[in-house]
Structure 1
Amino acid sequence: MEETYVQIKRLGGAGDRGADVAAFKTDRQFEGPWDCFQAKHYKEPLGFSVAAPEILKVFTSVIEGAYTLPESYQFLAPRGLSTPFNVLVSKPTDLQDRFLAELAKGGPLVKGLGKAIIEAVRRLATNTDFAMFKSVEVLDALATHAKTRWHAARFGTSLPARGDSDAPPEEYLPDETRYLQQLLAVYAEYHPGNITTLHSVADVPRLSRHLQRQRVRFFKAESLKAYSADAVPPGTFERLQDDIHAGVVDIADADHPDGYTKLNQVMTHVGSLDLNRHKLINVTDIDDRKGVCHQLANDDRLTWVEES
C-alpha cells in the first residue's frame, strides 16, 4: 500500500539529524507520525558499518527531542544494500541484536558519546521494533518515480498516455469568457448587425461551426494544461505557451483587413511553428496549438479585434 503524505521535506546536509528526507503523515510533522528516508550515494553497496552510525543518529536525535521516532526508516542507495546487510534488514530481530552488540562494544560507533546517552540509546533500541528499518530497492524507487511529473524530463523517457479531452459543455463557462468575447467581436465585425450575442452566431451556420471548432480547441488546450500538472515539471506548459505566443504575435500584430482574417492567419501559422524542443509537443496535435492561441486570447495576450 502506498503512503499518503501531507508534506515531504528534503533536509539532507549538515544538521539533518539523520533525516535526508522527512515524509510527514500529519500537519504535526516531526511531532507526529512520519517516515525517514536516508540516501547514501556510494560506489559500493551500503553495508552495516556505514548504516549503524545513521541508526544511532536516529536514536540520539529522539532522545535529545529533535523529533519523534519515525514509523519507518528507509535506506536508499544507488548500488542497493550489500547482501549481508540486506539479509540483516530483512530479519529485524537479528538487526536489533547486531546493533545492540556494536553499541556494547564501546568502539568507534559510540565515540564521543557519554555513558548516559549510550545507556539511553540502549534502552530505546531495546524497546524499538527494528522492523522500522527497511531498504528501498532501486527498481521500486524508479517505479514510484515514474508516476511523478519529473520522471520523463529527468530520464528522457516517453510521456505517459494523455487520454481523450473533454468535449465543450453546451453552456458557456466562466473560464472561457474572455476568448469568447474576442470571438464575438470577430463575428460581429464580420457580420455587422446580424450578430450581437454568442447565441446569435447560430443564425450563421458557417460561423456557428467555426465557433464550435474554436471551443473544441480551447478545451483541448485546457486538457493539455491539466495533463501537464501530472506529467511534466512545473512551468513546462507555460514555456510552451510563451513560445507559441512568440511565434504568432508578429502575425497577430501585422495589418489585416479584419479580425476574422487575422484569427485564421494566426491559426494557420501556429501549425508551422518548430516546437520540437518542448517535451509536451510529443502529446499534442494541431488543435492543441490552436487552443493555446485561444488561451492566450483568454489572457489578453492576443487580440483579434482592436477595441475602439
Structure 2
Amino acid sequence: MDDYITAHQVSVGTQIEPIQRIKIMSADEWETLVEEWLDTKTDKYLKIEKMGGAGDMGRDVIAYINNPKDHPTNYQWDCYQCKHYSQTLAPSHIWVELGKIIYYSFNKEYPVPNRYYFVAPQGVGTSLSNLLDNPQKLKLSLKKNWENYCENGISNKSIKLSDSLLKYFDNFNFSIFDKQLPKNIVNDHKNHKNHLLRFGGGLPNRRANVNIPPLNQESNLRYINQLTKAYNSDSSKHIEKAVSIIGSKYENHFQRSRKSFYSAEELRLFTRDNLPVEVYSKFKDDIFDSVINIAEENFDNNGFSKLKSVENQASKTTIESNPIREVCQTIDKKGVCHQLVNEKQLTWVEDE
C-alpha cells in the first residue's frame, strides 16, 4: 500500500458518496432530507411541512405555494411522496398513493396539488417512469389496478371506483404525477446548512480577505466604545472618540482588534451557511468558558491589561470537538472576545 494513511481515515473510514448514502438512510431520515431539500426552494415555496405517518392522507411532504390560511379550500401546493425501498420504484408501489390523492381530494380534504412527485433514493424504475410520462396510460393502469390495490388500501373502509368517484376519476388530470431524480435532490441539498451533517465531506474554503467597514460606520458598536475606554484606562492622555485612536500608541492594537472582530463575524456567517446555527454558538461558548475566570480577575482598573490577558487566553483555547476547528484561526478566537463584548457578556471597563 503506497498511500499515506491518516488518523482521520482510520477514524471515519472510506467516504460514502451522497448518492449511495441516501440508499442506506431510514425512511424517516429520507423524508427529513427531502424536507431539507425543499427548504432550499424559497423562491418557489412559501413553506414546507413534513406530514408522514398515519393520517397523512397520502401526503408525506407538503410544499405550499401560497398560504392555506388565506385560501383554505383552494390553496396551491405540490406534494412530494417519499418512497424508501431497497429497489427502484415500481408501479405496484404507487397505486394506492395515487388512489389516496384522488379519493381525498374528491372528498375535499384538500385541493388537488399542482404537481405530485415521487421521490425515492433508488429512483424510479423504467416501467413506472414510462407510465408517469404517459398520463393517459397511467390513468388506465390505475383504473385496472384499483380493485386490487386501492379499494381496501386507502382507508379502513372499502372504496369502490364507481358513481360520482368514477366520474371524478375520469376527469382527473393525471399529468400532475411525476418523479424527481435522486441525483438532483442530493446536488441541490448542498445549499442546505445540514448538508455536511448528513453527508460529510469537509468544509469549503473560507474567504481569504476580511472586509472591514469604515470606522465611522462602527461608532455606535459597543466593542468599539469598550476599546476606547480600555485605552483610556491605560493612557495619561484622554481619547475622546474612536477616531482619535488613529495615530496614538494604541492604533496597531485597535486595528488588529477590528480585524479580529470581522474575521470572527465572517466565520459566524460561514458557519451559518454550512452548518447548523448552534455550531457557532457552541464555539463562542467555549471561548467564553475559557476566558471568563481571567476576565473576572483584578487588573487595578486597567481595562487594556484585562483586554490583552483575555485575548491571550482566547488564543490558547483548544477547540476539540467543534466541526469548525479545521477552519478556525487564532484571529477568530480573539475576535470572539469582541463579539462577546458587543453582546455584553464581557466588559473591559464598566459602563458609567
- TM-score normalised to structure 1 length: 0.89
Question: Equivalent of 1:191, from 220, 235, 241?
Answer: 235
The match for 1:131 is 175
> Does 2:265 match 1:226?
no
Shift of 1:28: 3.0
> Does 2:71 match 1:18?
no
CA separation of 1:225 and 1:118: change in aligned 2, threshold 3 A:
farther
CA separation of 1:307 and 1:66: change in aligned 2, threshold 3 A:
same
Shift of 1:14: 1.4
Shift of 1:37: 0.8
Question: What SS class does the counterpart of residue 257 from structure 2 fall into?
Answer: helix
Give the aligned residue type for 2:276. P
CA separation of 1:235 and 1:121: change in aligned 2, threshold 3 A:
farther
CA distance in 1, matches of 2:187, 2:280: 24
The match for 2:48 is 8
> Does 2:202 match 1:202?
no
The match for 2:216 is 171
The match for 1:110 is 151
1:1-308 alignment runs, 5 A limit = 4-28=44-68, 31-103=74-146, 106-111=147-152, 112-115=157-160, 118-163=162-207, 164-173=209-218, 177-204=221-248, 206-256=249-299, 258-306=302-350
CA separation of 1:71 and 1:162: change in aligned 2, threshold 3 A:
farther
Shift of 1:24: 0.6
The match for 2:35 is none
CA separation of 1:172 and 1:83: change in aligned 2, threshold 3 A:
same
Give the aligned residue type for 1:170. L
CA distance in 2, matches of 1:132, 1:192: 77
Shift of 1:121: 4.0
CA distance in 1, matches of 2:64, 2:327: 34
Question: What SS class does the counterpart of residue 271 from structure 2 fall into?
Answer: helix
Deviations 1:160-197 (A, max 9, x none): 444343222231337x6211121111110111333132
Percent identity, aligned pairs only? 29
Asked if structure 2 preserves the Cα contact closer than 8 Å seen for 1:247 and 1:273, the reply is yes
Asked if structure 2 preserves the Cα contact closer than 8 Å seen for 1:201 and 1:208, the reply is yes
Unaligned runs of 5+ in 2: 1-40
Asked if structure 2 preserves the Cα contact closer than 8 Å seen for 1:40 and 1:75, the reply is yes
CA separation of 1:152 and 1:120: change in aligned 2, threshold 3 A:
farther
CA distance in 2, matches of 1:60, 1:305: 69
CA distance in 2, matches of 1:229, 1:187: 33
Asked if structure 2 preserves the Cα contact closer than 8 Å seen for 1:23 and 1:36, the reply is yes
Give the aligned residue type for 1:44. Q
Shift of 1:155: 1.6
Shift of 1:12: 0.8
The match for 2:30 is none
Asked if structure 2 preserves the Cα contact closer than 8 Å seen for 1:63 and 1:120, the reply is no
Question: What SS class does the counterpart of residue 274 from structure 1 fall into?
Answer: coil
Cα RMSD (Å)? 2.3
Deviations 1:222-263 (A, max 9, x none): 222223332111322111111111122122223435221221
Question: What SS class does the counterpart of residue 192 from structure 2 fall into?
Answer: coil
Aligned length: 302
Unaligned runs of 5+ in 1: none
Deviations 1:8-48 (A, max 9, x none): 00111111111110001112376322110111222233221
Question: What SS class does the counterpart of residue 185 from structure 1 fall into?
Answer: helix
CA distance in 2, matches of 1:68, 1:160: 43
Shift of 1:297: 0.8
Question: What SS class does the counterpart of residue 73 from structure 1 fall into?
Answer: strand
Asked if structure 1 preserves the Cα contact closer than 8 Å seen for 2:150 and 2:159, the reply is no
